[in-house]
Structure 1
Amino acid sequence: MSGSRPHLGAAAWLAAGPVRDILGILDCDGEEARVVGGAVRNALLGEPVHEIDIATTALPEEILRRAERAQLRAVPTGIDHGTVTLLADGVPLEVTTLREDVETYGRKAKVAFGRDWRRDAERRDFTINALSVSRDGVVHDYVGGLADLDQRRVRFIGDAAARIAEDYLRILRFFRFHAAYGVGQPDAAALHACIAARAGLTSLSRERVRMEVLKLLVARRAADVVRVMSDAGLMSMIHGGVSYLVAFEKMVAIEAELGERPDAVRRLGALAVVIEEDAERLFERLRLSNAEHGRLQSMADAWWRIAPSFSAQQARAFLYRVGGSGFADRVLLAWSHSSAPAEDARWRALAAFPTQWTPPSCPVSASDLMARGVPKGPSLGAALREAEAAWIAADFPTDQGAIAAIIARVAAEHRA
């Protein structure tokens, strides 16, 4: 990026498809439109471009009029703040009128629509997020974002403390963006402002904190940044307990060694869960989904009993009981807390066990037991559980004679 003005004219997402069509109807007849924010940042870094946001000088009413003329569906998703969602070829793209803050108080701000691209850029959070690109591919930078992008530096626009006071979630966003895009140590002024304003984290909704934390935990440099946050006293404020930094860093290394995609919930477990009460606390503090909560509960269930010295029979019994996902979660948690390195062959073999054996269905049914005199009711349920336990203890026999013997023995004990 250094040495010449960046140009994205050849970018397929900009020069063709729905982005081109929407820019075509908005960037004309006295109005201007550009792609702004993360799409520009990622394109310049060679990262995948996901969400594409468009800014325009046109007022919301004019956006709606032009969309109607072009026979595009328009949804006024945030029209009070100047945002309209346009659907082109079935792809939804947010279009927002340029804005400038008149007054800010926390996350809320009194805004006025404007036509000044510089002032619109100056109201954003980080310099690397304030870049824009016009439909001819020319990149516009009003706040030093290109230089920061070149240096892989995440820096607040203007005064860091003032930016944070506008929305305390920006503390977490700073660390997330540094973990995703930064190199080296965090920007000193930004880090100092985040630490000074950390009490503001308590004013945020749990849902917003959860969203940022889970994104942070899977970022490229999550291990380094989580350690910085812990040293600054921020992680304990977020999850309310002890941060197991070595286990977290080991989990990151294990996933990389196994070729696993970064898993936010599994990494959260390594960072903050050793007993079931930890899972309950995280559920409350971060308002986790029921599925996320369930995984953390499962991970906390006697993970310390798992060892690479498991026999094949022990591994089969464990896999049958908790399933493939639960097996992976708990094995990797135990591994992350062990003294073994991420390259350990025995732990790796245990983690790979679900690829070698598929748990069968229990061959004993209620009708099998009822046919031998076990009555319906609590006794039948108890007999079923006992028969399944006996089948597991026998290492999942498939021989009909062995299965019949289990059924006969259990039925004799529970027959009316």
Structure 2
Amino acid sequence: MAAEHPAYPVGLRLTGRRTVVLGGGQVAQRRLPALIAAGADITLISPSATPSVEAMADAGELTWHRRTYADGDLAEAWYALIATSDPTANAAASAEAERHRVWCVRSDDADAATAWTPATGHSEGVTVAVLTTEAKGRDPRRTAAIRDAVVAGLRDGTLVAPHHRTRTPGVALVGGGPGDPDLITVRGRRLLAEADVVIADRLGPRDLLNELPPHVEVIDAAKIPYGRFMAQEAINNALIEHAKQGKSVVRLKGGDPFVFGRGMEEAQALAEAGIPCTVVPGISSSISVPGAAGIPVTHRGVAHEFTVVSGHVAPDDERSLVDWAALARLRGTLVILMGVDKIGRIAETLTAHGKPGDTPVALVQEGTTAAQRRVDATLATVAEAVRSHEVRPPAVIVIGEVAGMNPAPPA
């Protein structure tokens, strides 16, 4: 009998409880993982099964009886999923479920079932389940779309529900990616939305800061009063002080926290102070910015390796830790970060150690943002190209044959 009222939503606790699944096809393949995750004691009754379902049985995650349904199979069951290709068997099993008061889902006839499977999703300990309110005219695609929208909002922080239980204070070192706000990770965006305090670099995705609730304190790391401290020491102290006040703190950094981001220095300072620290990796500009400009850092038959180098000190500077002579001998791609003002001396050093002067060079300024632009040159001409085109930081420099490639041949 078709339901005349909306379904009553409830969460079933099936751990250790007998659950019977009839049919080992695609429906069972989709539904079984959730039943296994719920800890159900699963009996599968089907003469055949998909390879994935068979693998679950082989792994001991369920008990498989290789036969068709027989009356009495639902005895002592708490829950049943009927998904065979035999309408007569489905109807008989559904009738047995009704007699024994076993909640029953039917894949072939939702109106004849006593339970419906909602469209479900999960995010950070929350299960989202969406059901349509009417038995007739149910639209599974719409319920799935609503489920996806809610879960996506919870994951990326655009749908924020306040925590009413005490949160553990601490610091998250979040890599914000190369600049485009859409390129921050889902976890990074969620932590940013839940933060009490955000200490941001100028190279972080600034547009995300505009989305934060009004109560969030946003601190520009470049404007922290340094006093007697070095800049990094002042930032470390700000992270520690806010965390000790019981606040959830996000250190928002451009790219990845551990790729020339001094993230380890901050993590070490927090560890010494006894402050819990979470590291959220970010998309490094060393790979993403060239990619956004159509440059692969590796390519079959062209470059089998790429090396990422900091160019913030010149090759002849005694503080440099880079073996430029060794880099000049490599045949792969060289990616230089923070090297715009030193590129002239870098190019001279590479050519002095044997790198051909006609090696292609590409400079990508403000990569992945609306202001992105690309300037092409060679090792011999790159210093003049930077001056004539007024290339300014932040810019990623790519040296190697891949910098001369195009995604497609000209029309």
Tell me which interval the TM-score lies in, with the shorter structure as reference length. Answer: under 0.3
Higher helix content, 1 or 2:
1
Larger radius of gyration: 2
Higher relative contact order by CA 8 Å / sep ≥ 6: 1 or 2?
Answer: 2
TM-score (norm 2): 0.28
Higher strand content, 1 or 2:
2
